[in-house]
Structure 1
Amino acid sequence: MSWRDVIGRLFKHSEPVPAERPLVSCETSPELERKLDHLEHKLDEIRPNTAFSKELAKFGFLARARNPQDPKQLSGYAQVYSQFGEDGYIQEIFSRIGEGGRTFLEFGIEDGTQNTTRFLLERGWSGVWVEGSEAFATRAAETFHDFIEAGQLQIIHGFVTAENVNSLLDQNGIAAGFDLMSVDLDQNTSHVWRRLNRTARVACVEYNASLPPYFAVEVPYDPARTWDGSNHYGASLKTLEDIGRGHGMHLVGCDYPGVNAYFVHADETADKFLEPFTSERHYEPPRYNALDYIGHPPPRDARRWMDVEDPERS
């Protein structure tokens, strides 16, 4: 559909205009026709350039993932459900250290269809989702009803702050430790993670890639403040490196789009990940719009995956 068609539909379905304010239709306005033609021409120029740029970015990403400079470098190999390929990075980490008890705790899931741990859940993991939006939490509970009924998933609705995060988990009987923890709370991610008293073998934490990785900085804490869509949110990667160290974890990598940082408990990093475990070494710049979804789109309804045992690996 062209822009001319869009404008025409808007005029067709709009409310009647009073007689004292006659409407000049797009078909009878040479000036509007000229502007629409110019706009369509510009869009025709932009579309192939945008598509080409995204294809180049995708090619570079996949090439680097298949041929990392160092075998210990963290590279994403899959994108099943998660928006920025978290599935692949998490799967690669656990392929190196083992899946353990296969439990997770995730903050900020929206409706659960494109979050970090959905693939793990559908592969048989169990865990807890915490979501601040009642509408999202309700939708997730409807979509993943069977997993909840089976005792595999617990969804907690609650607006998380640094002050209430631990009591919220305590009140819902949440365990003290998990194999994977994911924290994506936009504005106050670093403040909440700093205060969180639950432990994990692996953590996936959102960082602000707009901030240089060489120094520790974060937004001032305001429990009532939410992200406004600007780059004033969260914390620098150096800040998360320091917080992670306080939790006994090492920074082992970041995803290619520059959205999440990945941490592994210090007891499990030896000879498995690229050192030094610093923000300067593992920082990735923001490439939020560089990649479209790779592969077929995921289903909206909940599904299940079955792990296949290989006798040669056991």
Structure 2
Amino acid sequence: MFKSLDSNSDRLSDIQIEISCQRSEIRTLIEQNVIISDQSRAASLLALDSLIQRHPRYRDRRCVNAAYGQVYSQNNEDGIIAEIFARIGTDTRTFVEIAAGDGVENTTRLLLDLGWTGVWVEAGEIEGASIRSVMAAAICDGRLVYLQQKVDRDNVDGLIKGAIEKTPDYVSLDIDYNTSHIWSALETLKPRVICIEYNAHFPPTVDYEVPYDSERSWNGTTRFGASLKALERIGREANYSLVGCDIFGVNAFFVRSDLCDEDKFLAPFTAENHYEPPRFDLVQMRGHRRHAEF
């Protein structure tokens, strides 16, 4: 009897060791970007395409949420931005992107390729080194101004005004924690279009934004930024209309209200109408790898 128990115990120990080794191997493969669950992701993307095709909101020509197009962006922002400007036109063809990342993947790199000029703001040292390398030619000839700076609500307005002479057509804000407060601080900047990250964990009827703290950063939890309803309120107070969100539940898009009407965009311009739930499992590099050199 005791021998049998000992044998089972040894077998259980062997199984535990084997599982531990397998976990270690899988973790290593994930870290090496070998396993990305391609089959699962492909199935999810098919389900997403099916949702787009059958949901009446996405079939309305005025809806921008499911606009296709992704060259340098992460969540199909390239397609949505192109669709919005196709409807309202451009003026200065300039942009500002606050939290521009490494310069390989963001929402304005395609605009730069298309002849726009603008400003990137990024605080990260590693990201900044990448930008200086990848975008050296654009920085040298003045098409791109790069500011390695951490923004807060006290410095952001002056920082942007000092870096750009024209009113930009497009502004992107994605600093994770204090995003809504930075937007509120940019009250004198009146671009035609604003793309801003929202916290899709909150229901579309809930008006919530984290208390401002210049020293806080996102800790990987659901506590960050602002709900879509809070951004709708901030936008309305600044004379902007919410015209859509990317289908992955990451970014919201606002158009200056004097350029927005119900013929161009899907009304009502509310969080309840344009909210997309978090589909973060699909926010991975899709398609071909990004082109690093400018």
What letter corresponds to residue 35 of structure 1 in structure 2? Q
Q: Pick from 268, 278, 296: which aligns with 2:288?
A: 296
Partner of 1:91: 82
What letter corresponds to residue 244 of structure 1 in structure 2? G
Alignment of 1:27-42 (within 5 A): 33-35=14-16, 37-38=18-19, 40=22
Question: How big is each residue's C-alpha offset from its partner over 1:133-170, in whole Å with a ceiling of 9 and x where there is no partner?
Answer: 23322320221011111211000111100111112223
Question: How big is each residue's C-alpha offset from its partner over 1:167-201, in whole Å with a ceiling of 9 and x where there is no partner?
Answer: 2223x342352111100011000001011121110
- How far apart, CA to CA, are the structure 2 residues paired with 1:160 and 1:179? 20
Question: How big is each residue's C-alpha offset from its partner over 1:61-90, in whole Å with a ceiling of 9 and x where there is no partner?
Answer: 334556723111112201111122211111
Alignment of 1:1-314 (within 5 A): 33-35=14-16, 37-38=18-19, 40=22, 51-65=38-52, 68-74=58-64, 75-170=66-161, 172-175=162-165, 177-196=167-186, 197-270=188-261, 271-302=263-294
- How far apart, CA to CA, are the structure 2 residues paired with 1:277 and 1:213? 12
- How far apart, CA to CA, are the structure 2 residues paired with 1:99 and 1:63? 33
Larger radius of gyration: 1
Structure 1 residues 292 and 160, CA gap change in structure 2 (3 angstroms) = closer
TM-score, length-normalised on structure 1? Answer: 0.79
Q: Structure 1 residue runs of 4+, over 4 Å off?
A: 29-33, 36-41, 50-53, 63-67
User: Helix, strand or coil for the counterpart of 2:219?
Assistant: coil
- How far apart, CA to CA, are the structure 2 residues paired with 1:238 and 1:133? 30
Question: How big is each residue's C-alpha offset from its partner over 1:3-45, in whole Å with a ceiling of 9 and x where there is no partner?
Answer: xxxxxxxxxxxxxxxxxxxxxxxxxx9766523545659x8xx
User: Helix, strand or coil for the counterpart of 2:178?
Assistant: helix
Identical counterparts, % of pairs: 42
Native 8 Å contact 2:92 2:166 kept in 1: no
What letter corresponds to residue 299 of structure 1 in structure 2? H
TM-score, length-normalised on structure 2? Answer: 0.84
User: Helix, strand or coil for the counterpart of 1:273?
Assistant: coil
Structure 1 residues 152 and 56, CA gap change in structure 2 (3 angstroms) = same
User: Helix, strand or coil for the counterpart of 2:179?
Assistant: helix
User: Helix, strand or coil for the counterpart of 1:93?
Assistant: helix
Native 8 Å contact 1:202 1:263 kept in 2: yes
Deviation at 1:94, TM superposition (A): 1.2
Structure 1 residues 95 and 62, CA gap change in structure 2 (3 angstroms) = farther
Mean CA deviation greater in 193-202 or 61-70: 61-70
Q: Where does structure 1 lack aligned partners over 5 or more consecutive residues?
A: 1-28, 303-314
- How far apart, CA to CA, are the structure 1 residues paired with 2:91 and 2:48? 29
Question: How big is each residue's C-alpha offset from its partner over 1:92-133, in whole Å with a ceiling of 9 and x where there is no partner?
Answer: 111222233311111001211111101111121110001122
- How far apart, CA to CA, are the structure 1 residues paired with 2:199 and 2:122? 21
CA RMSD of aligned residues (A): 2.6
Structure 1 residues 177 and 95, CA gap change in structure 2 (3 angstroms) = same
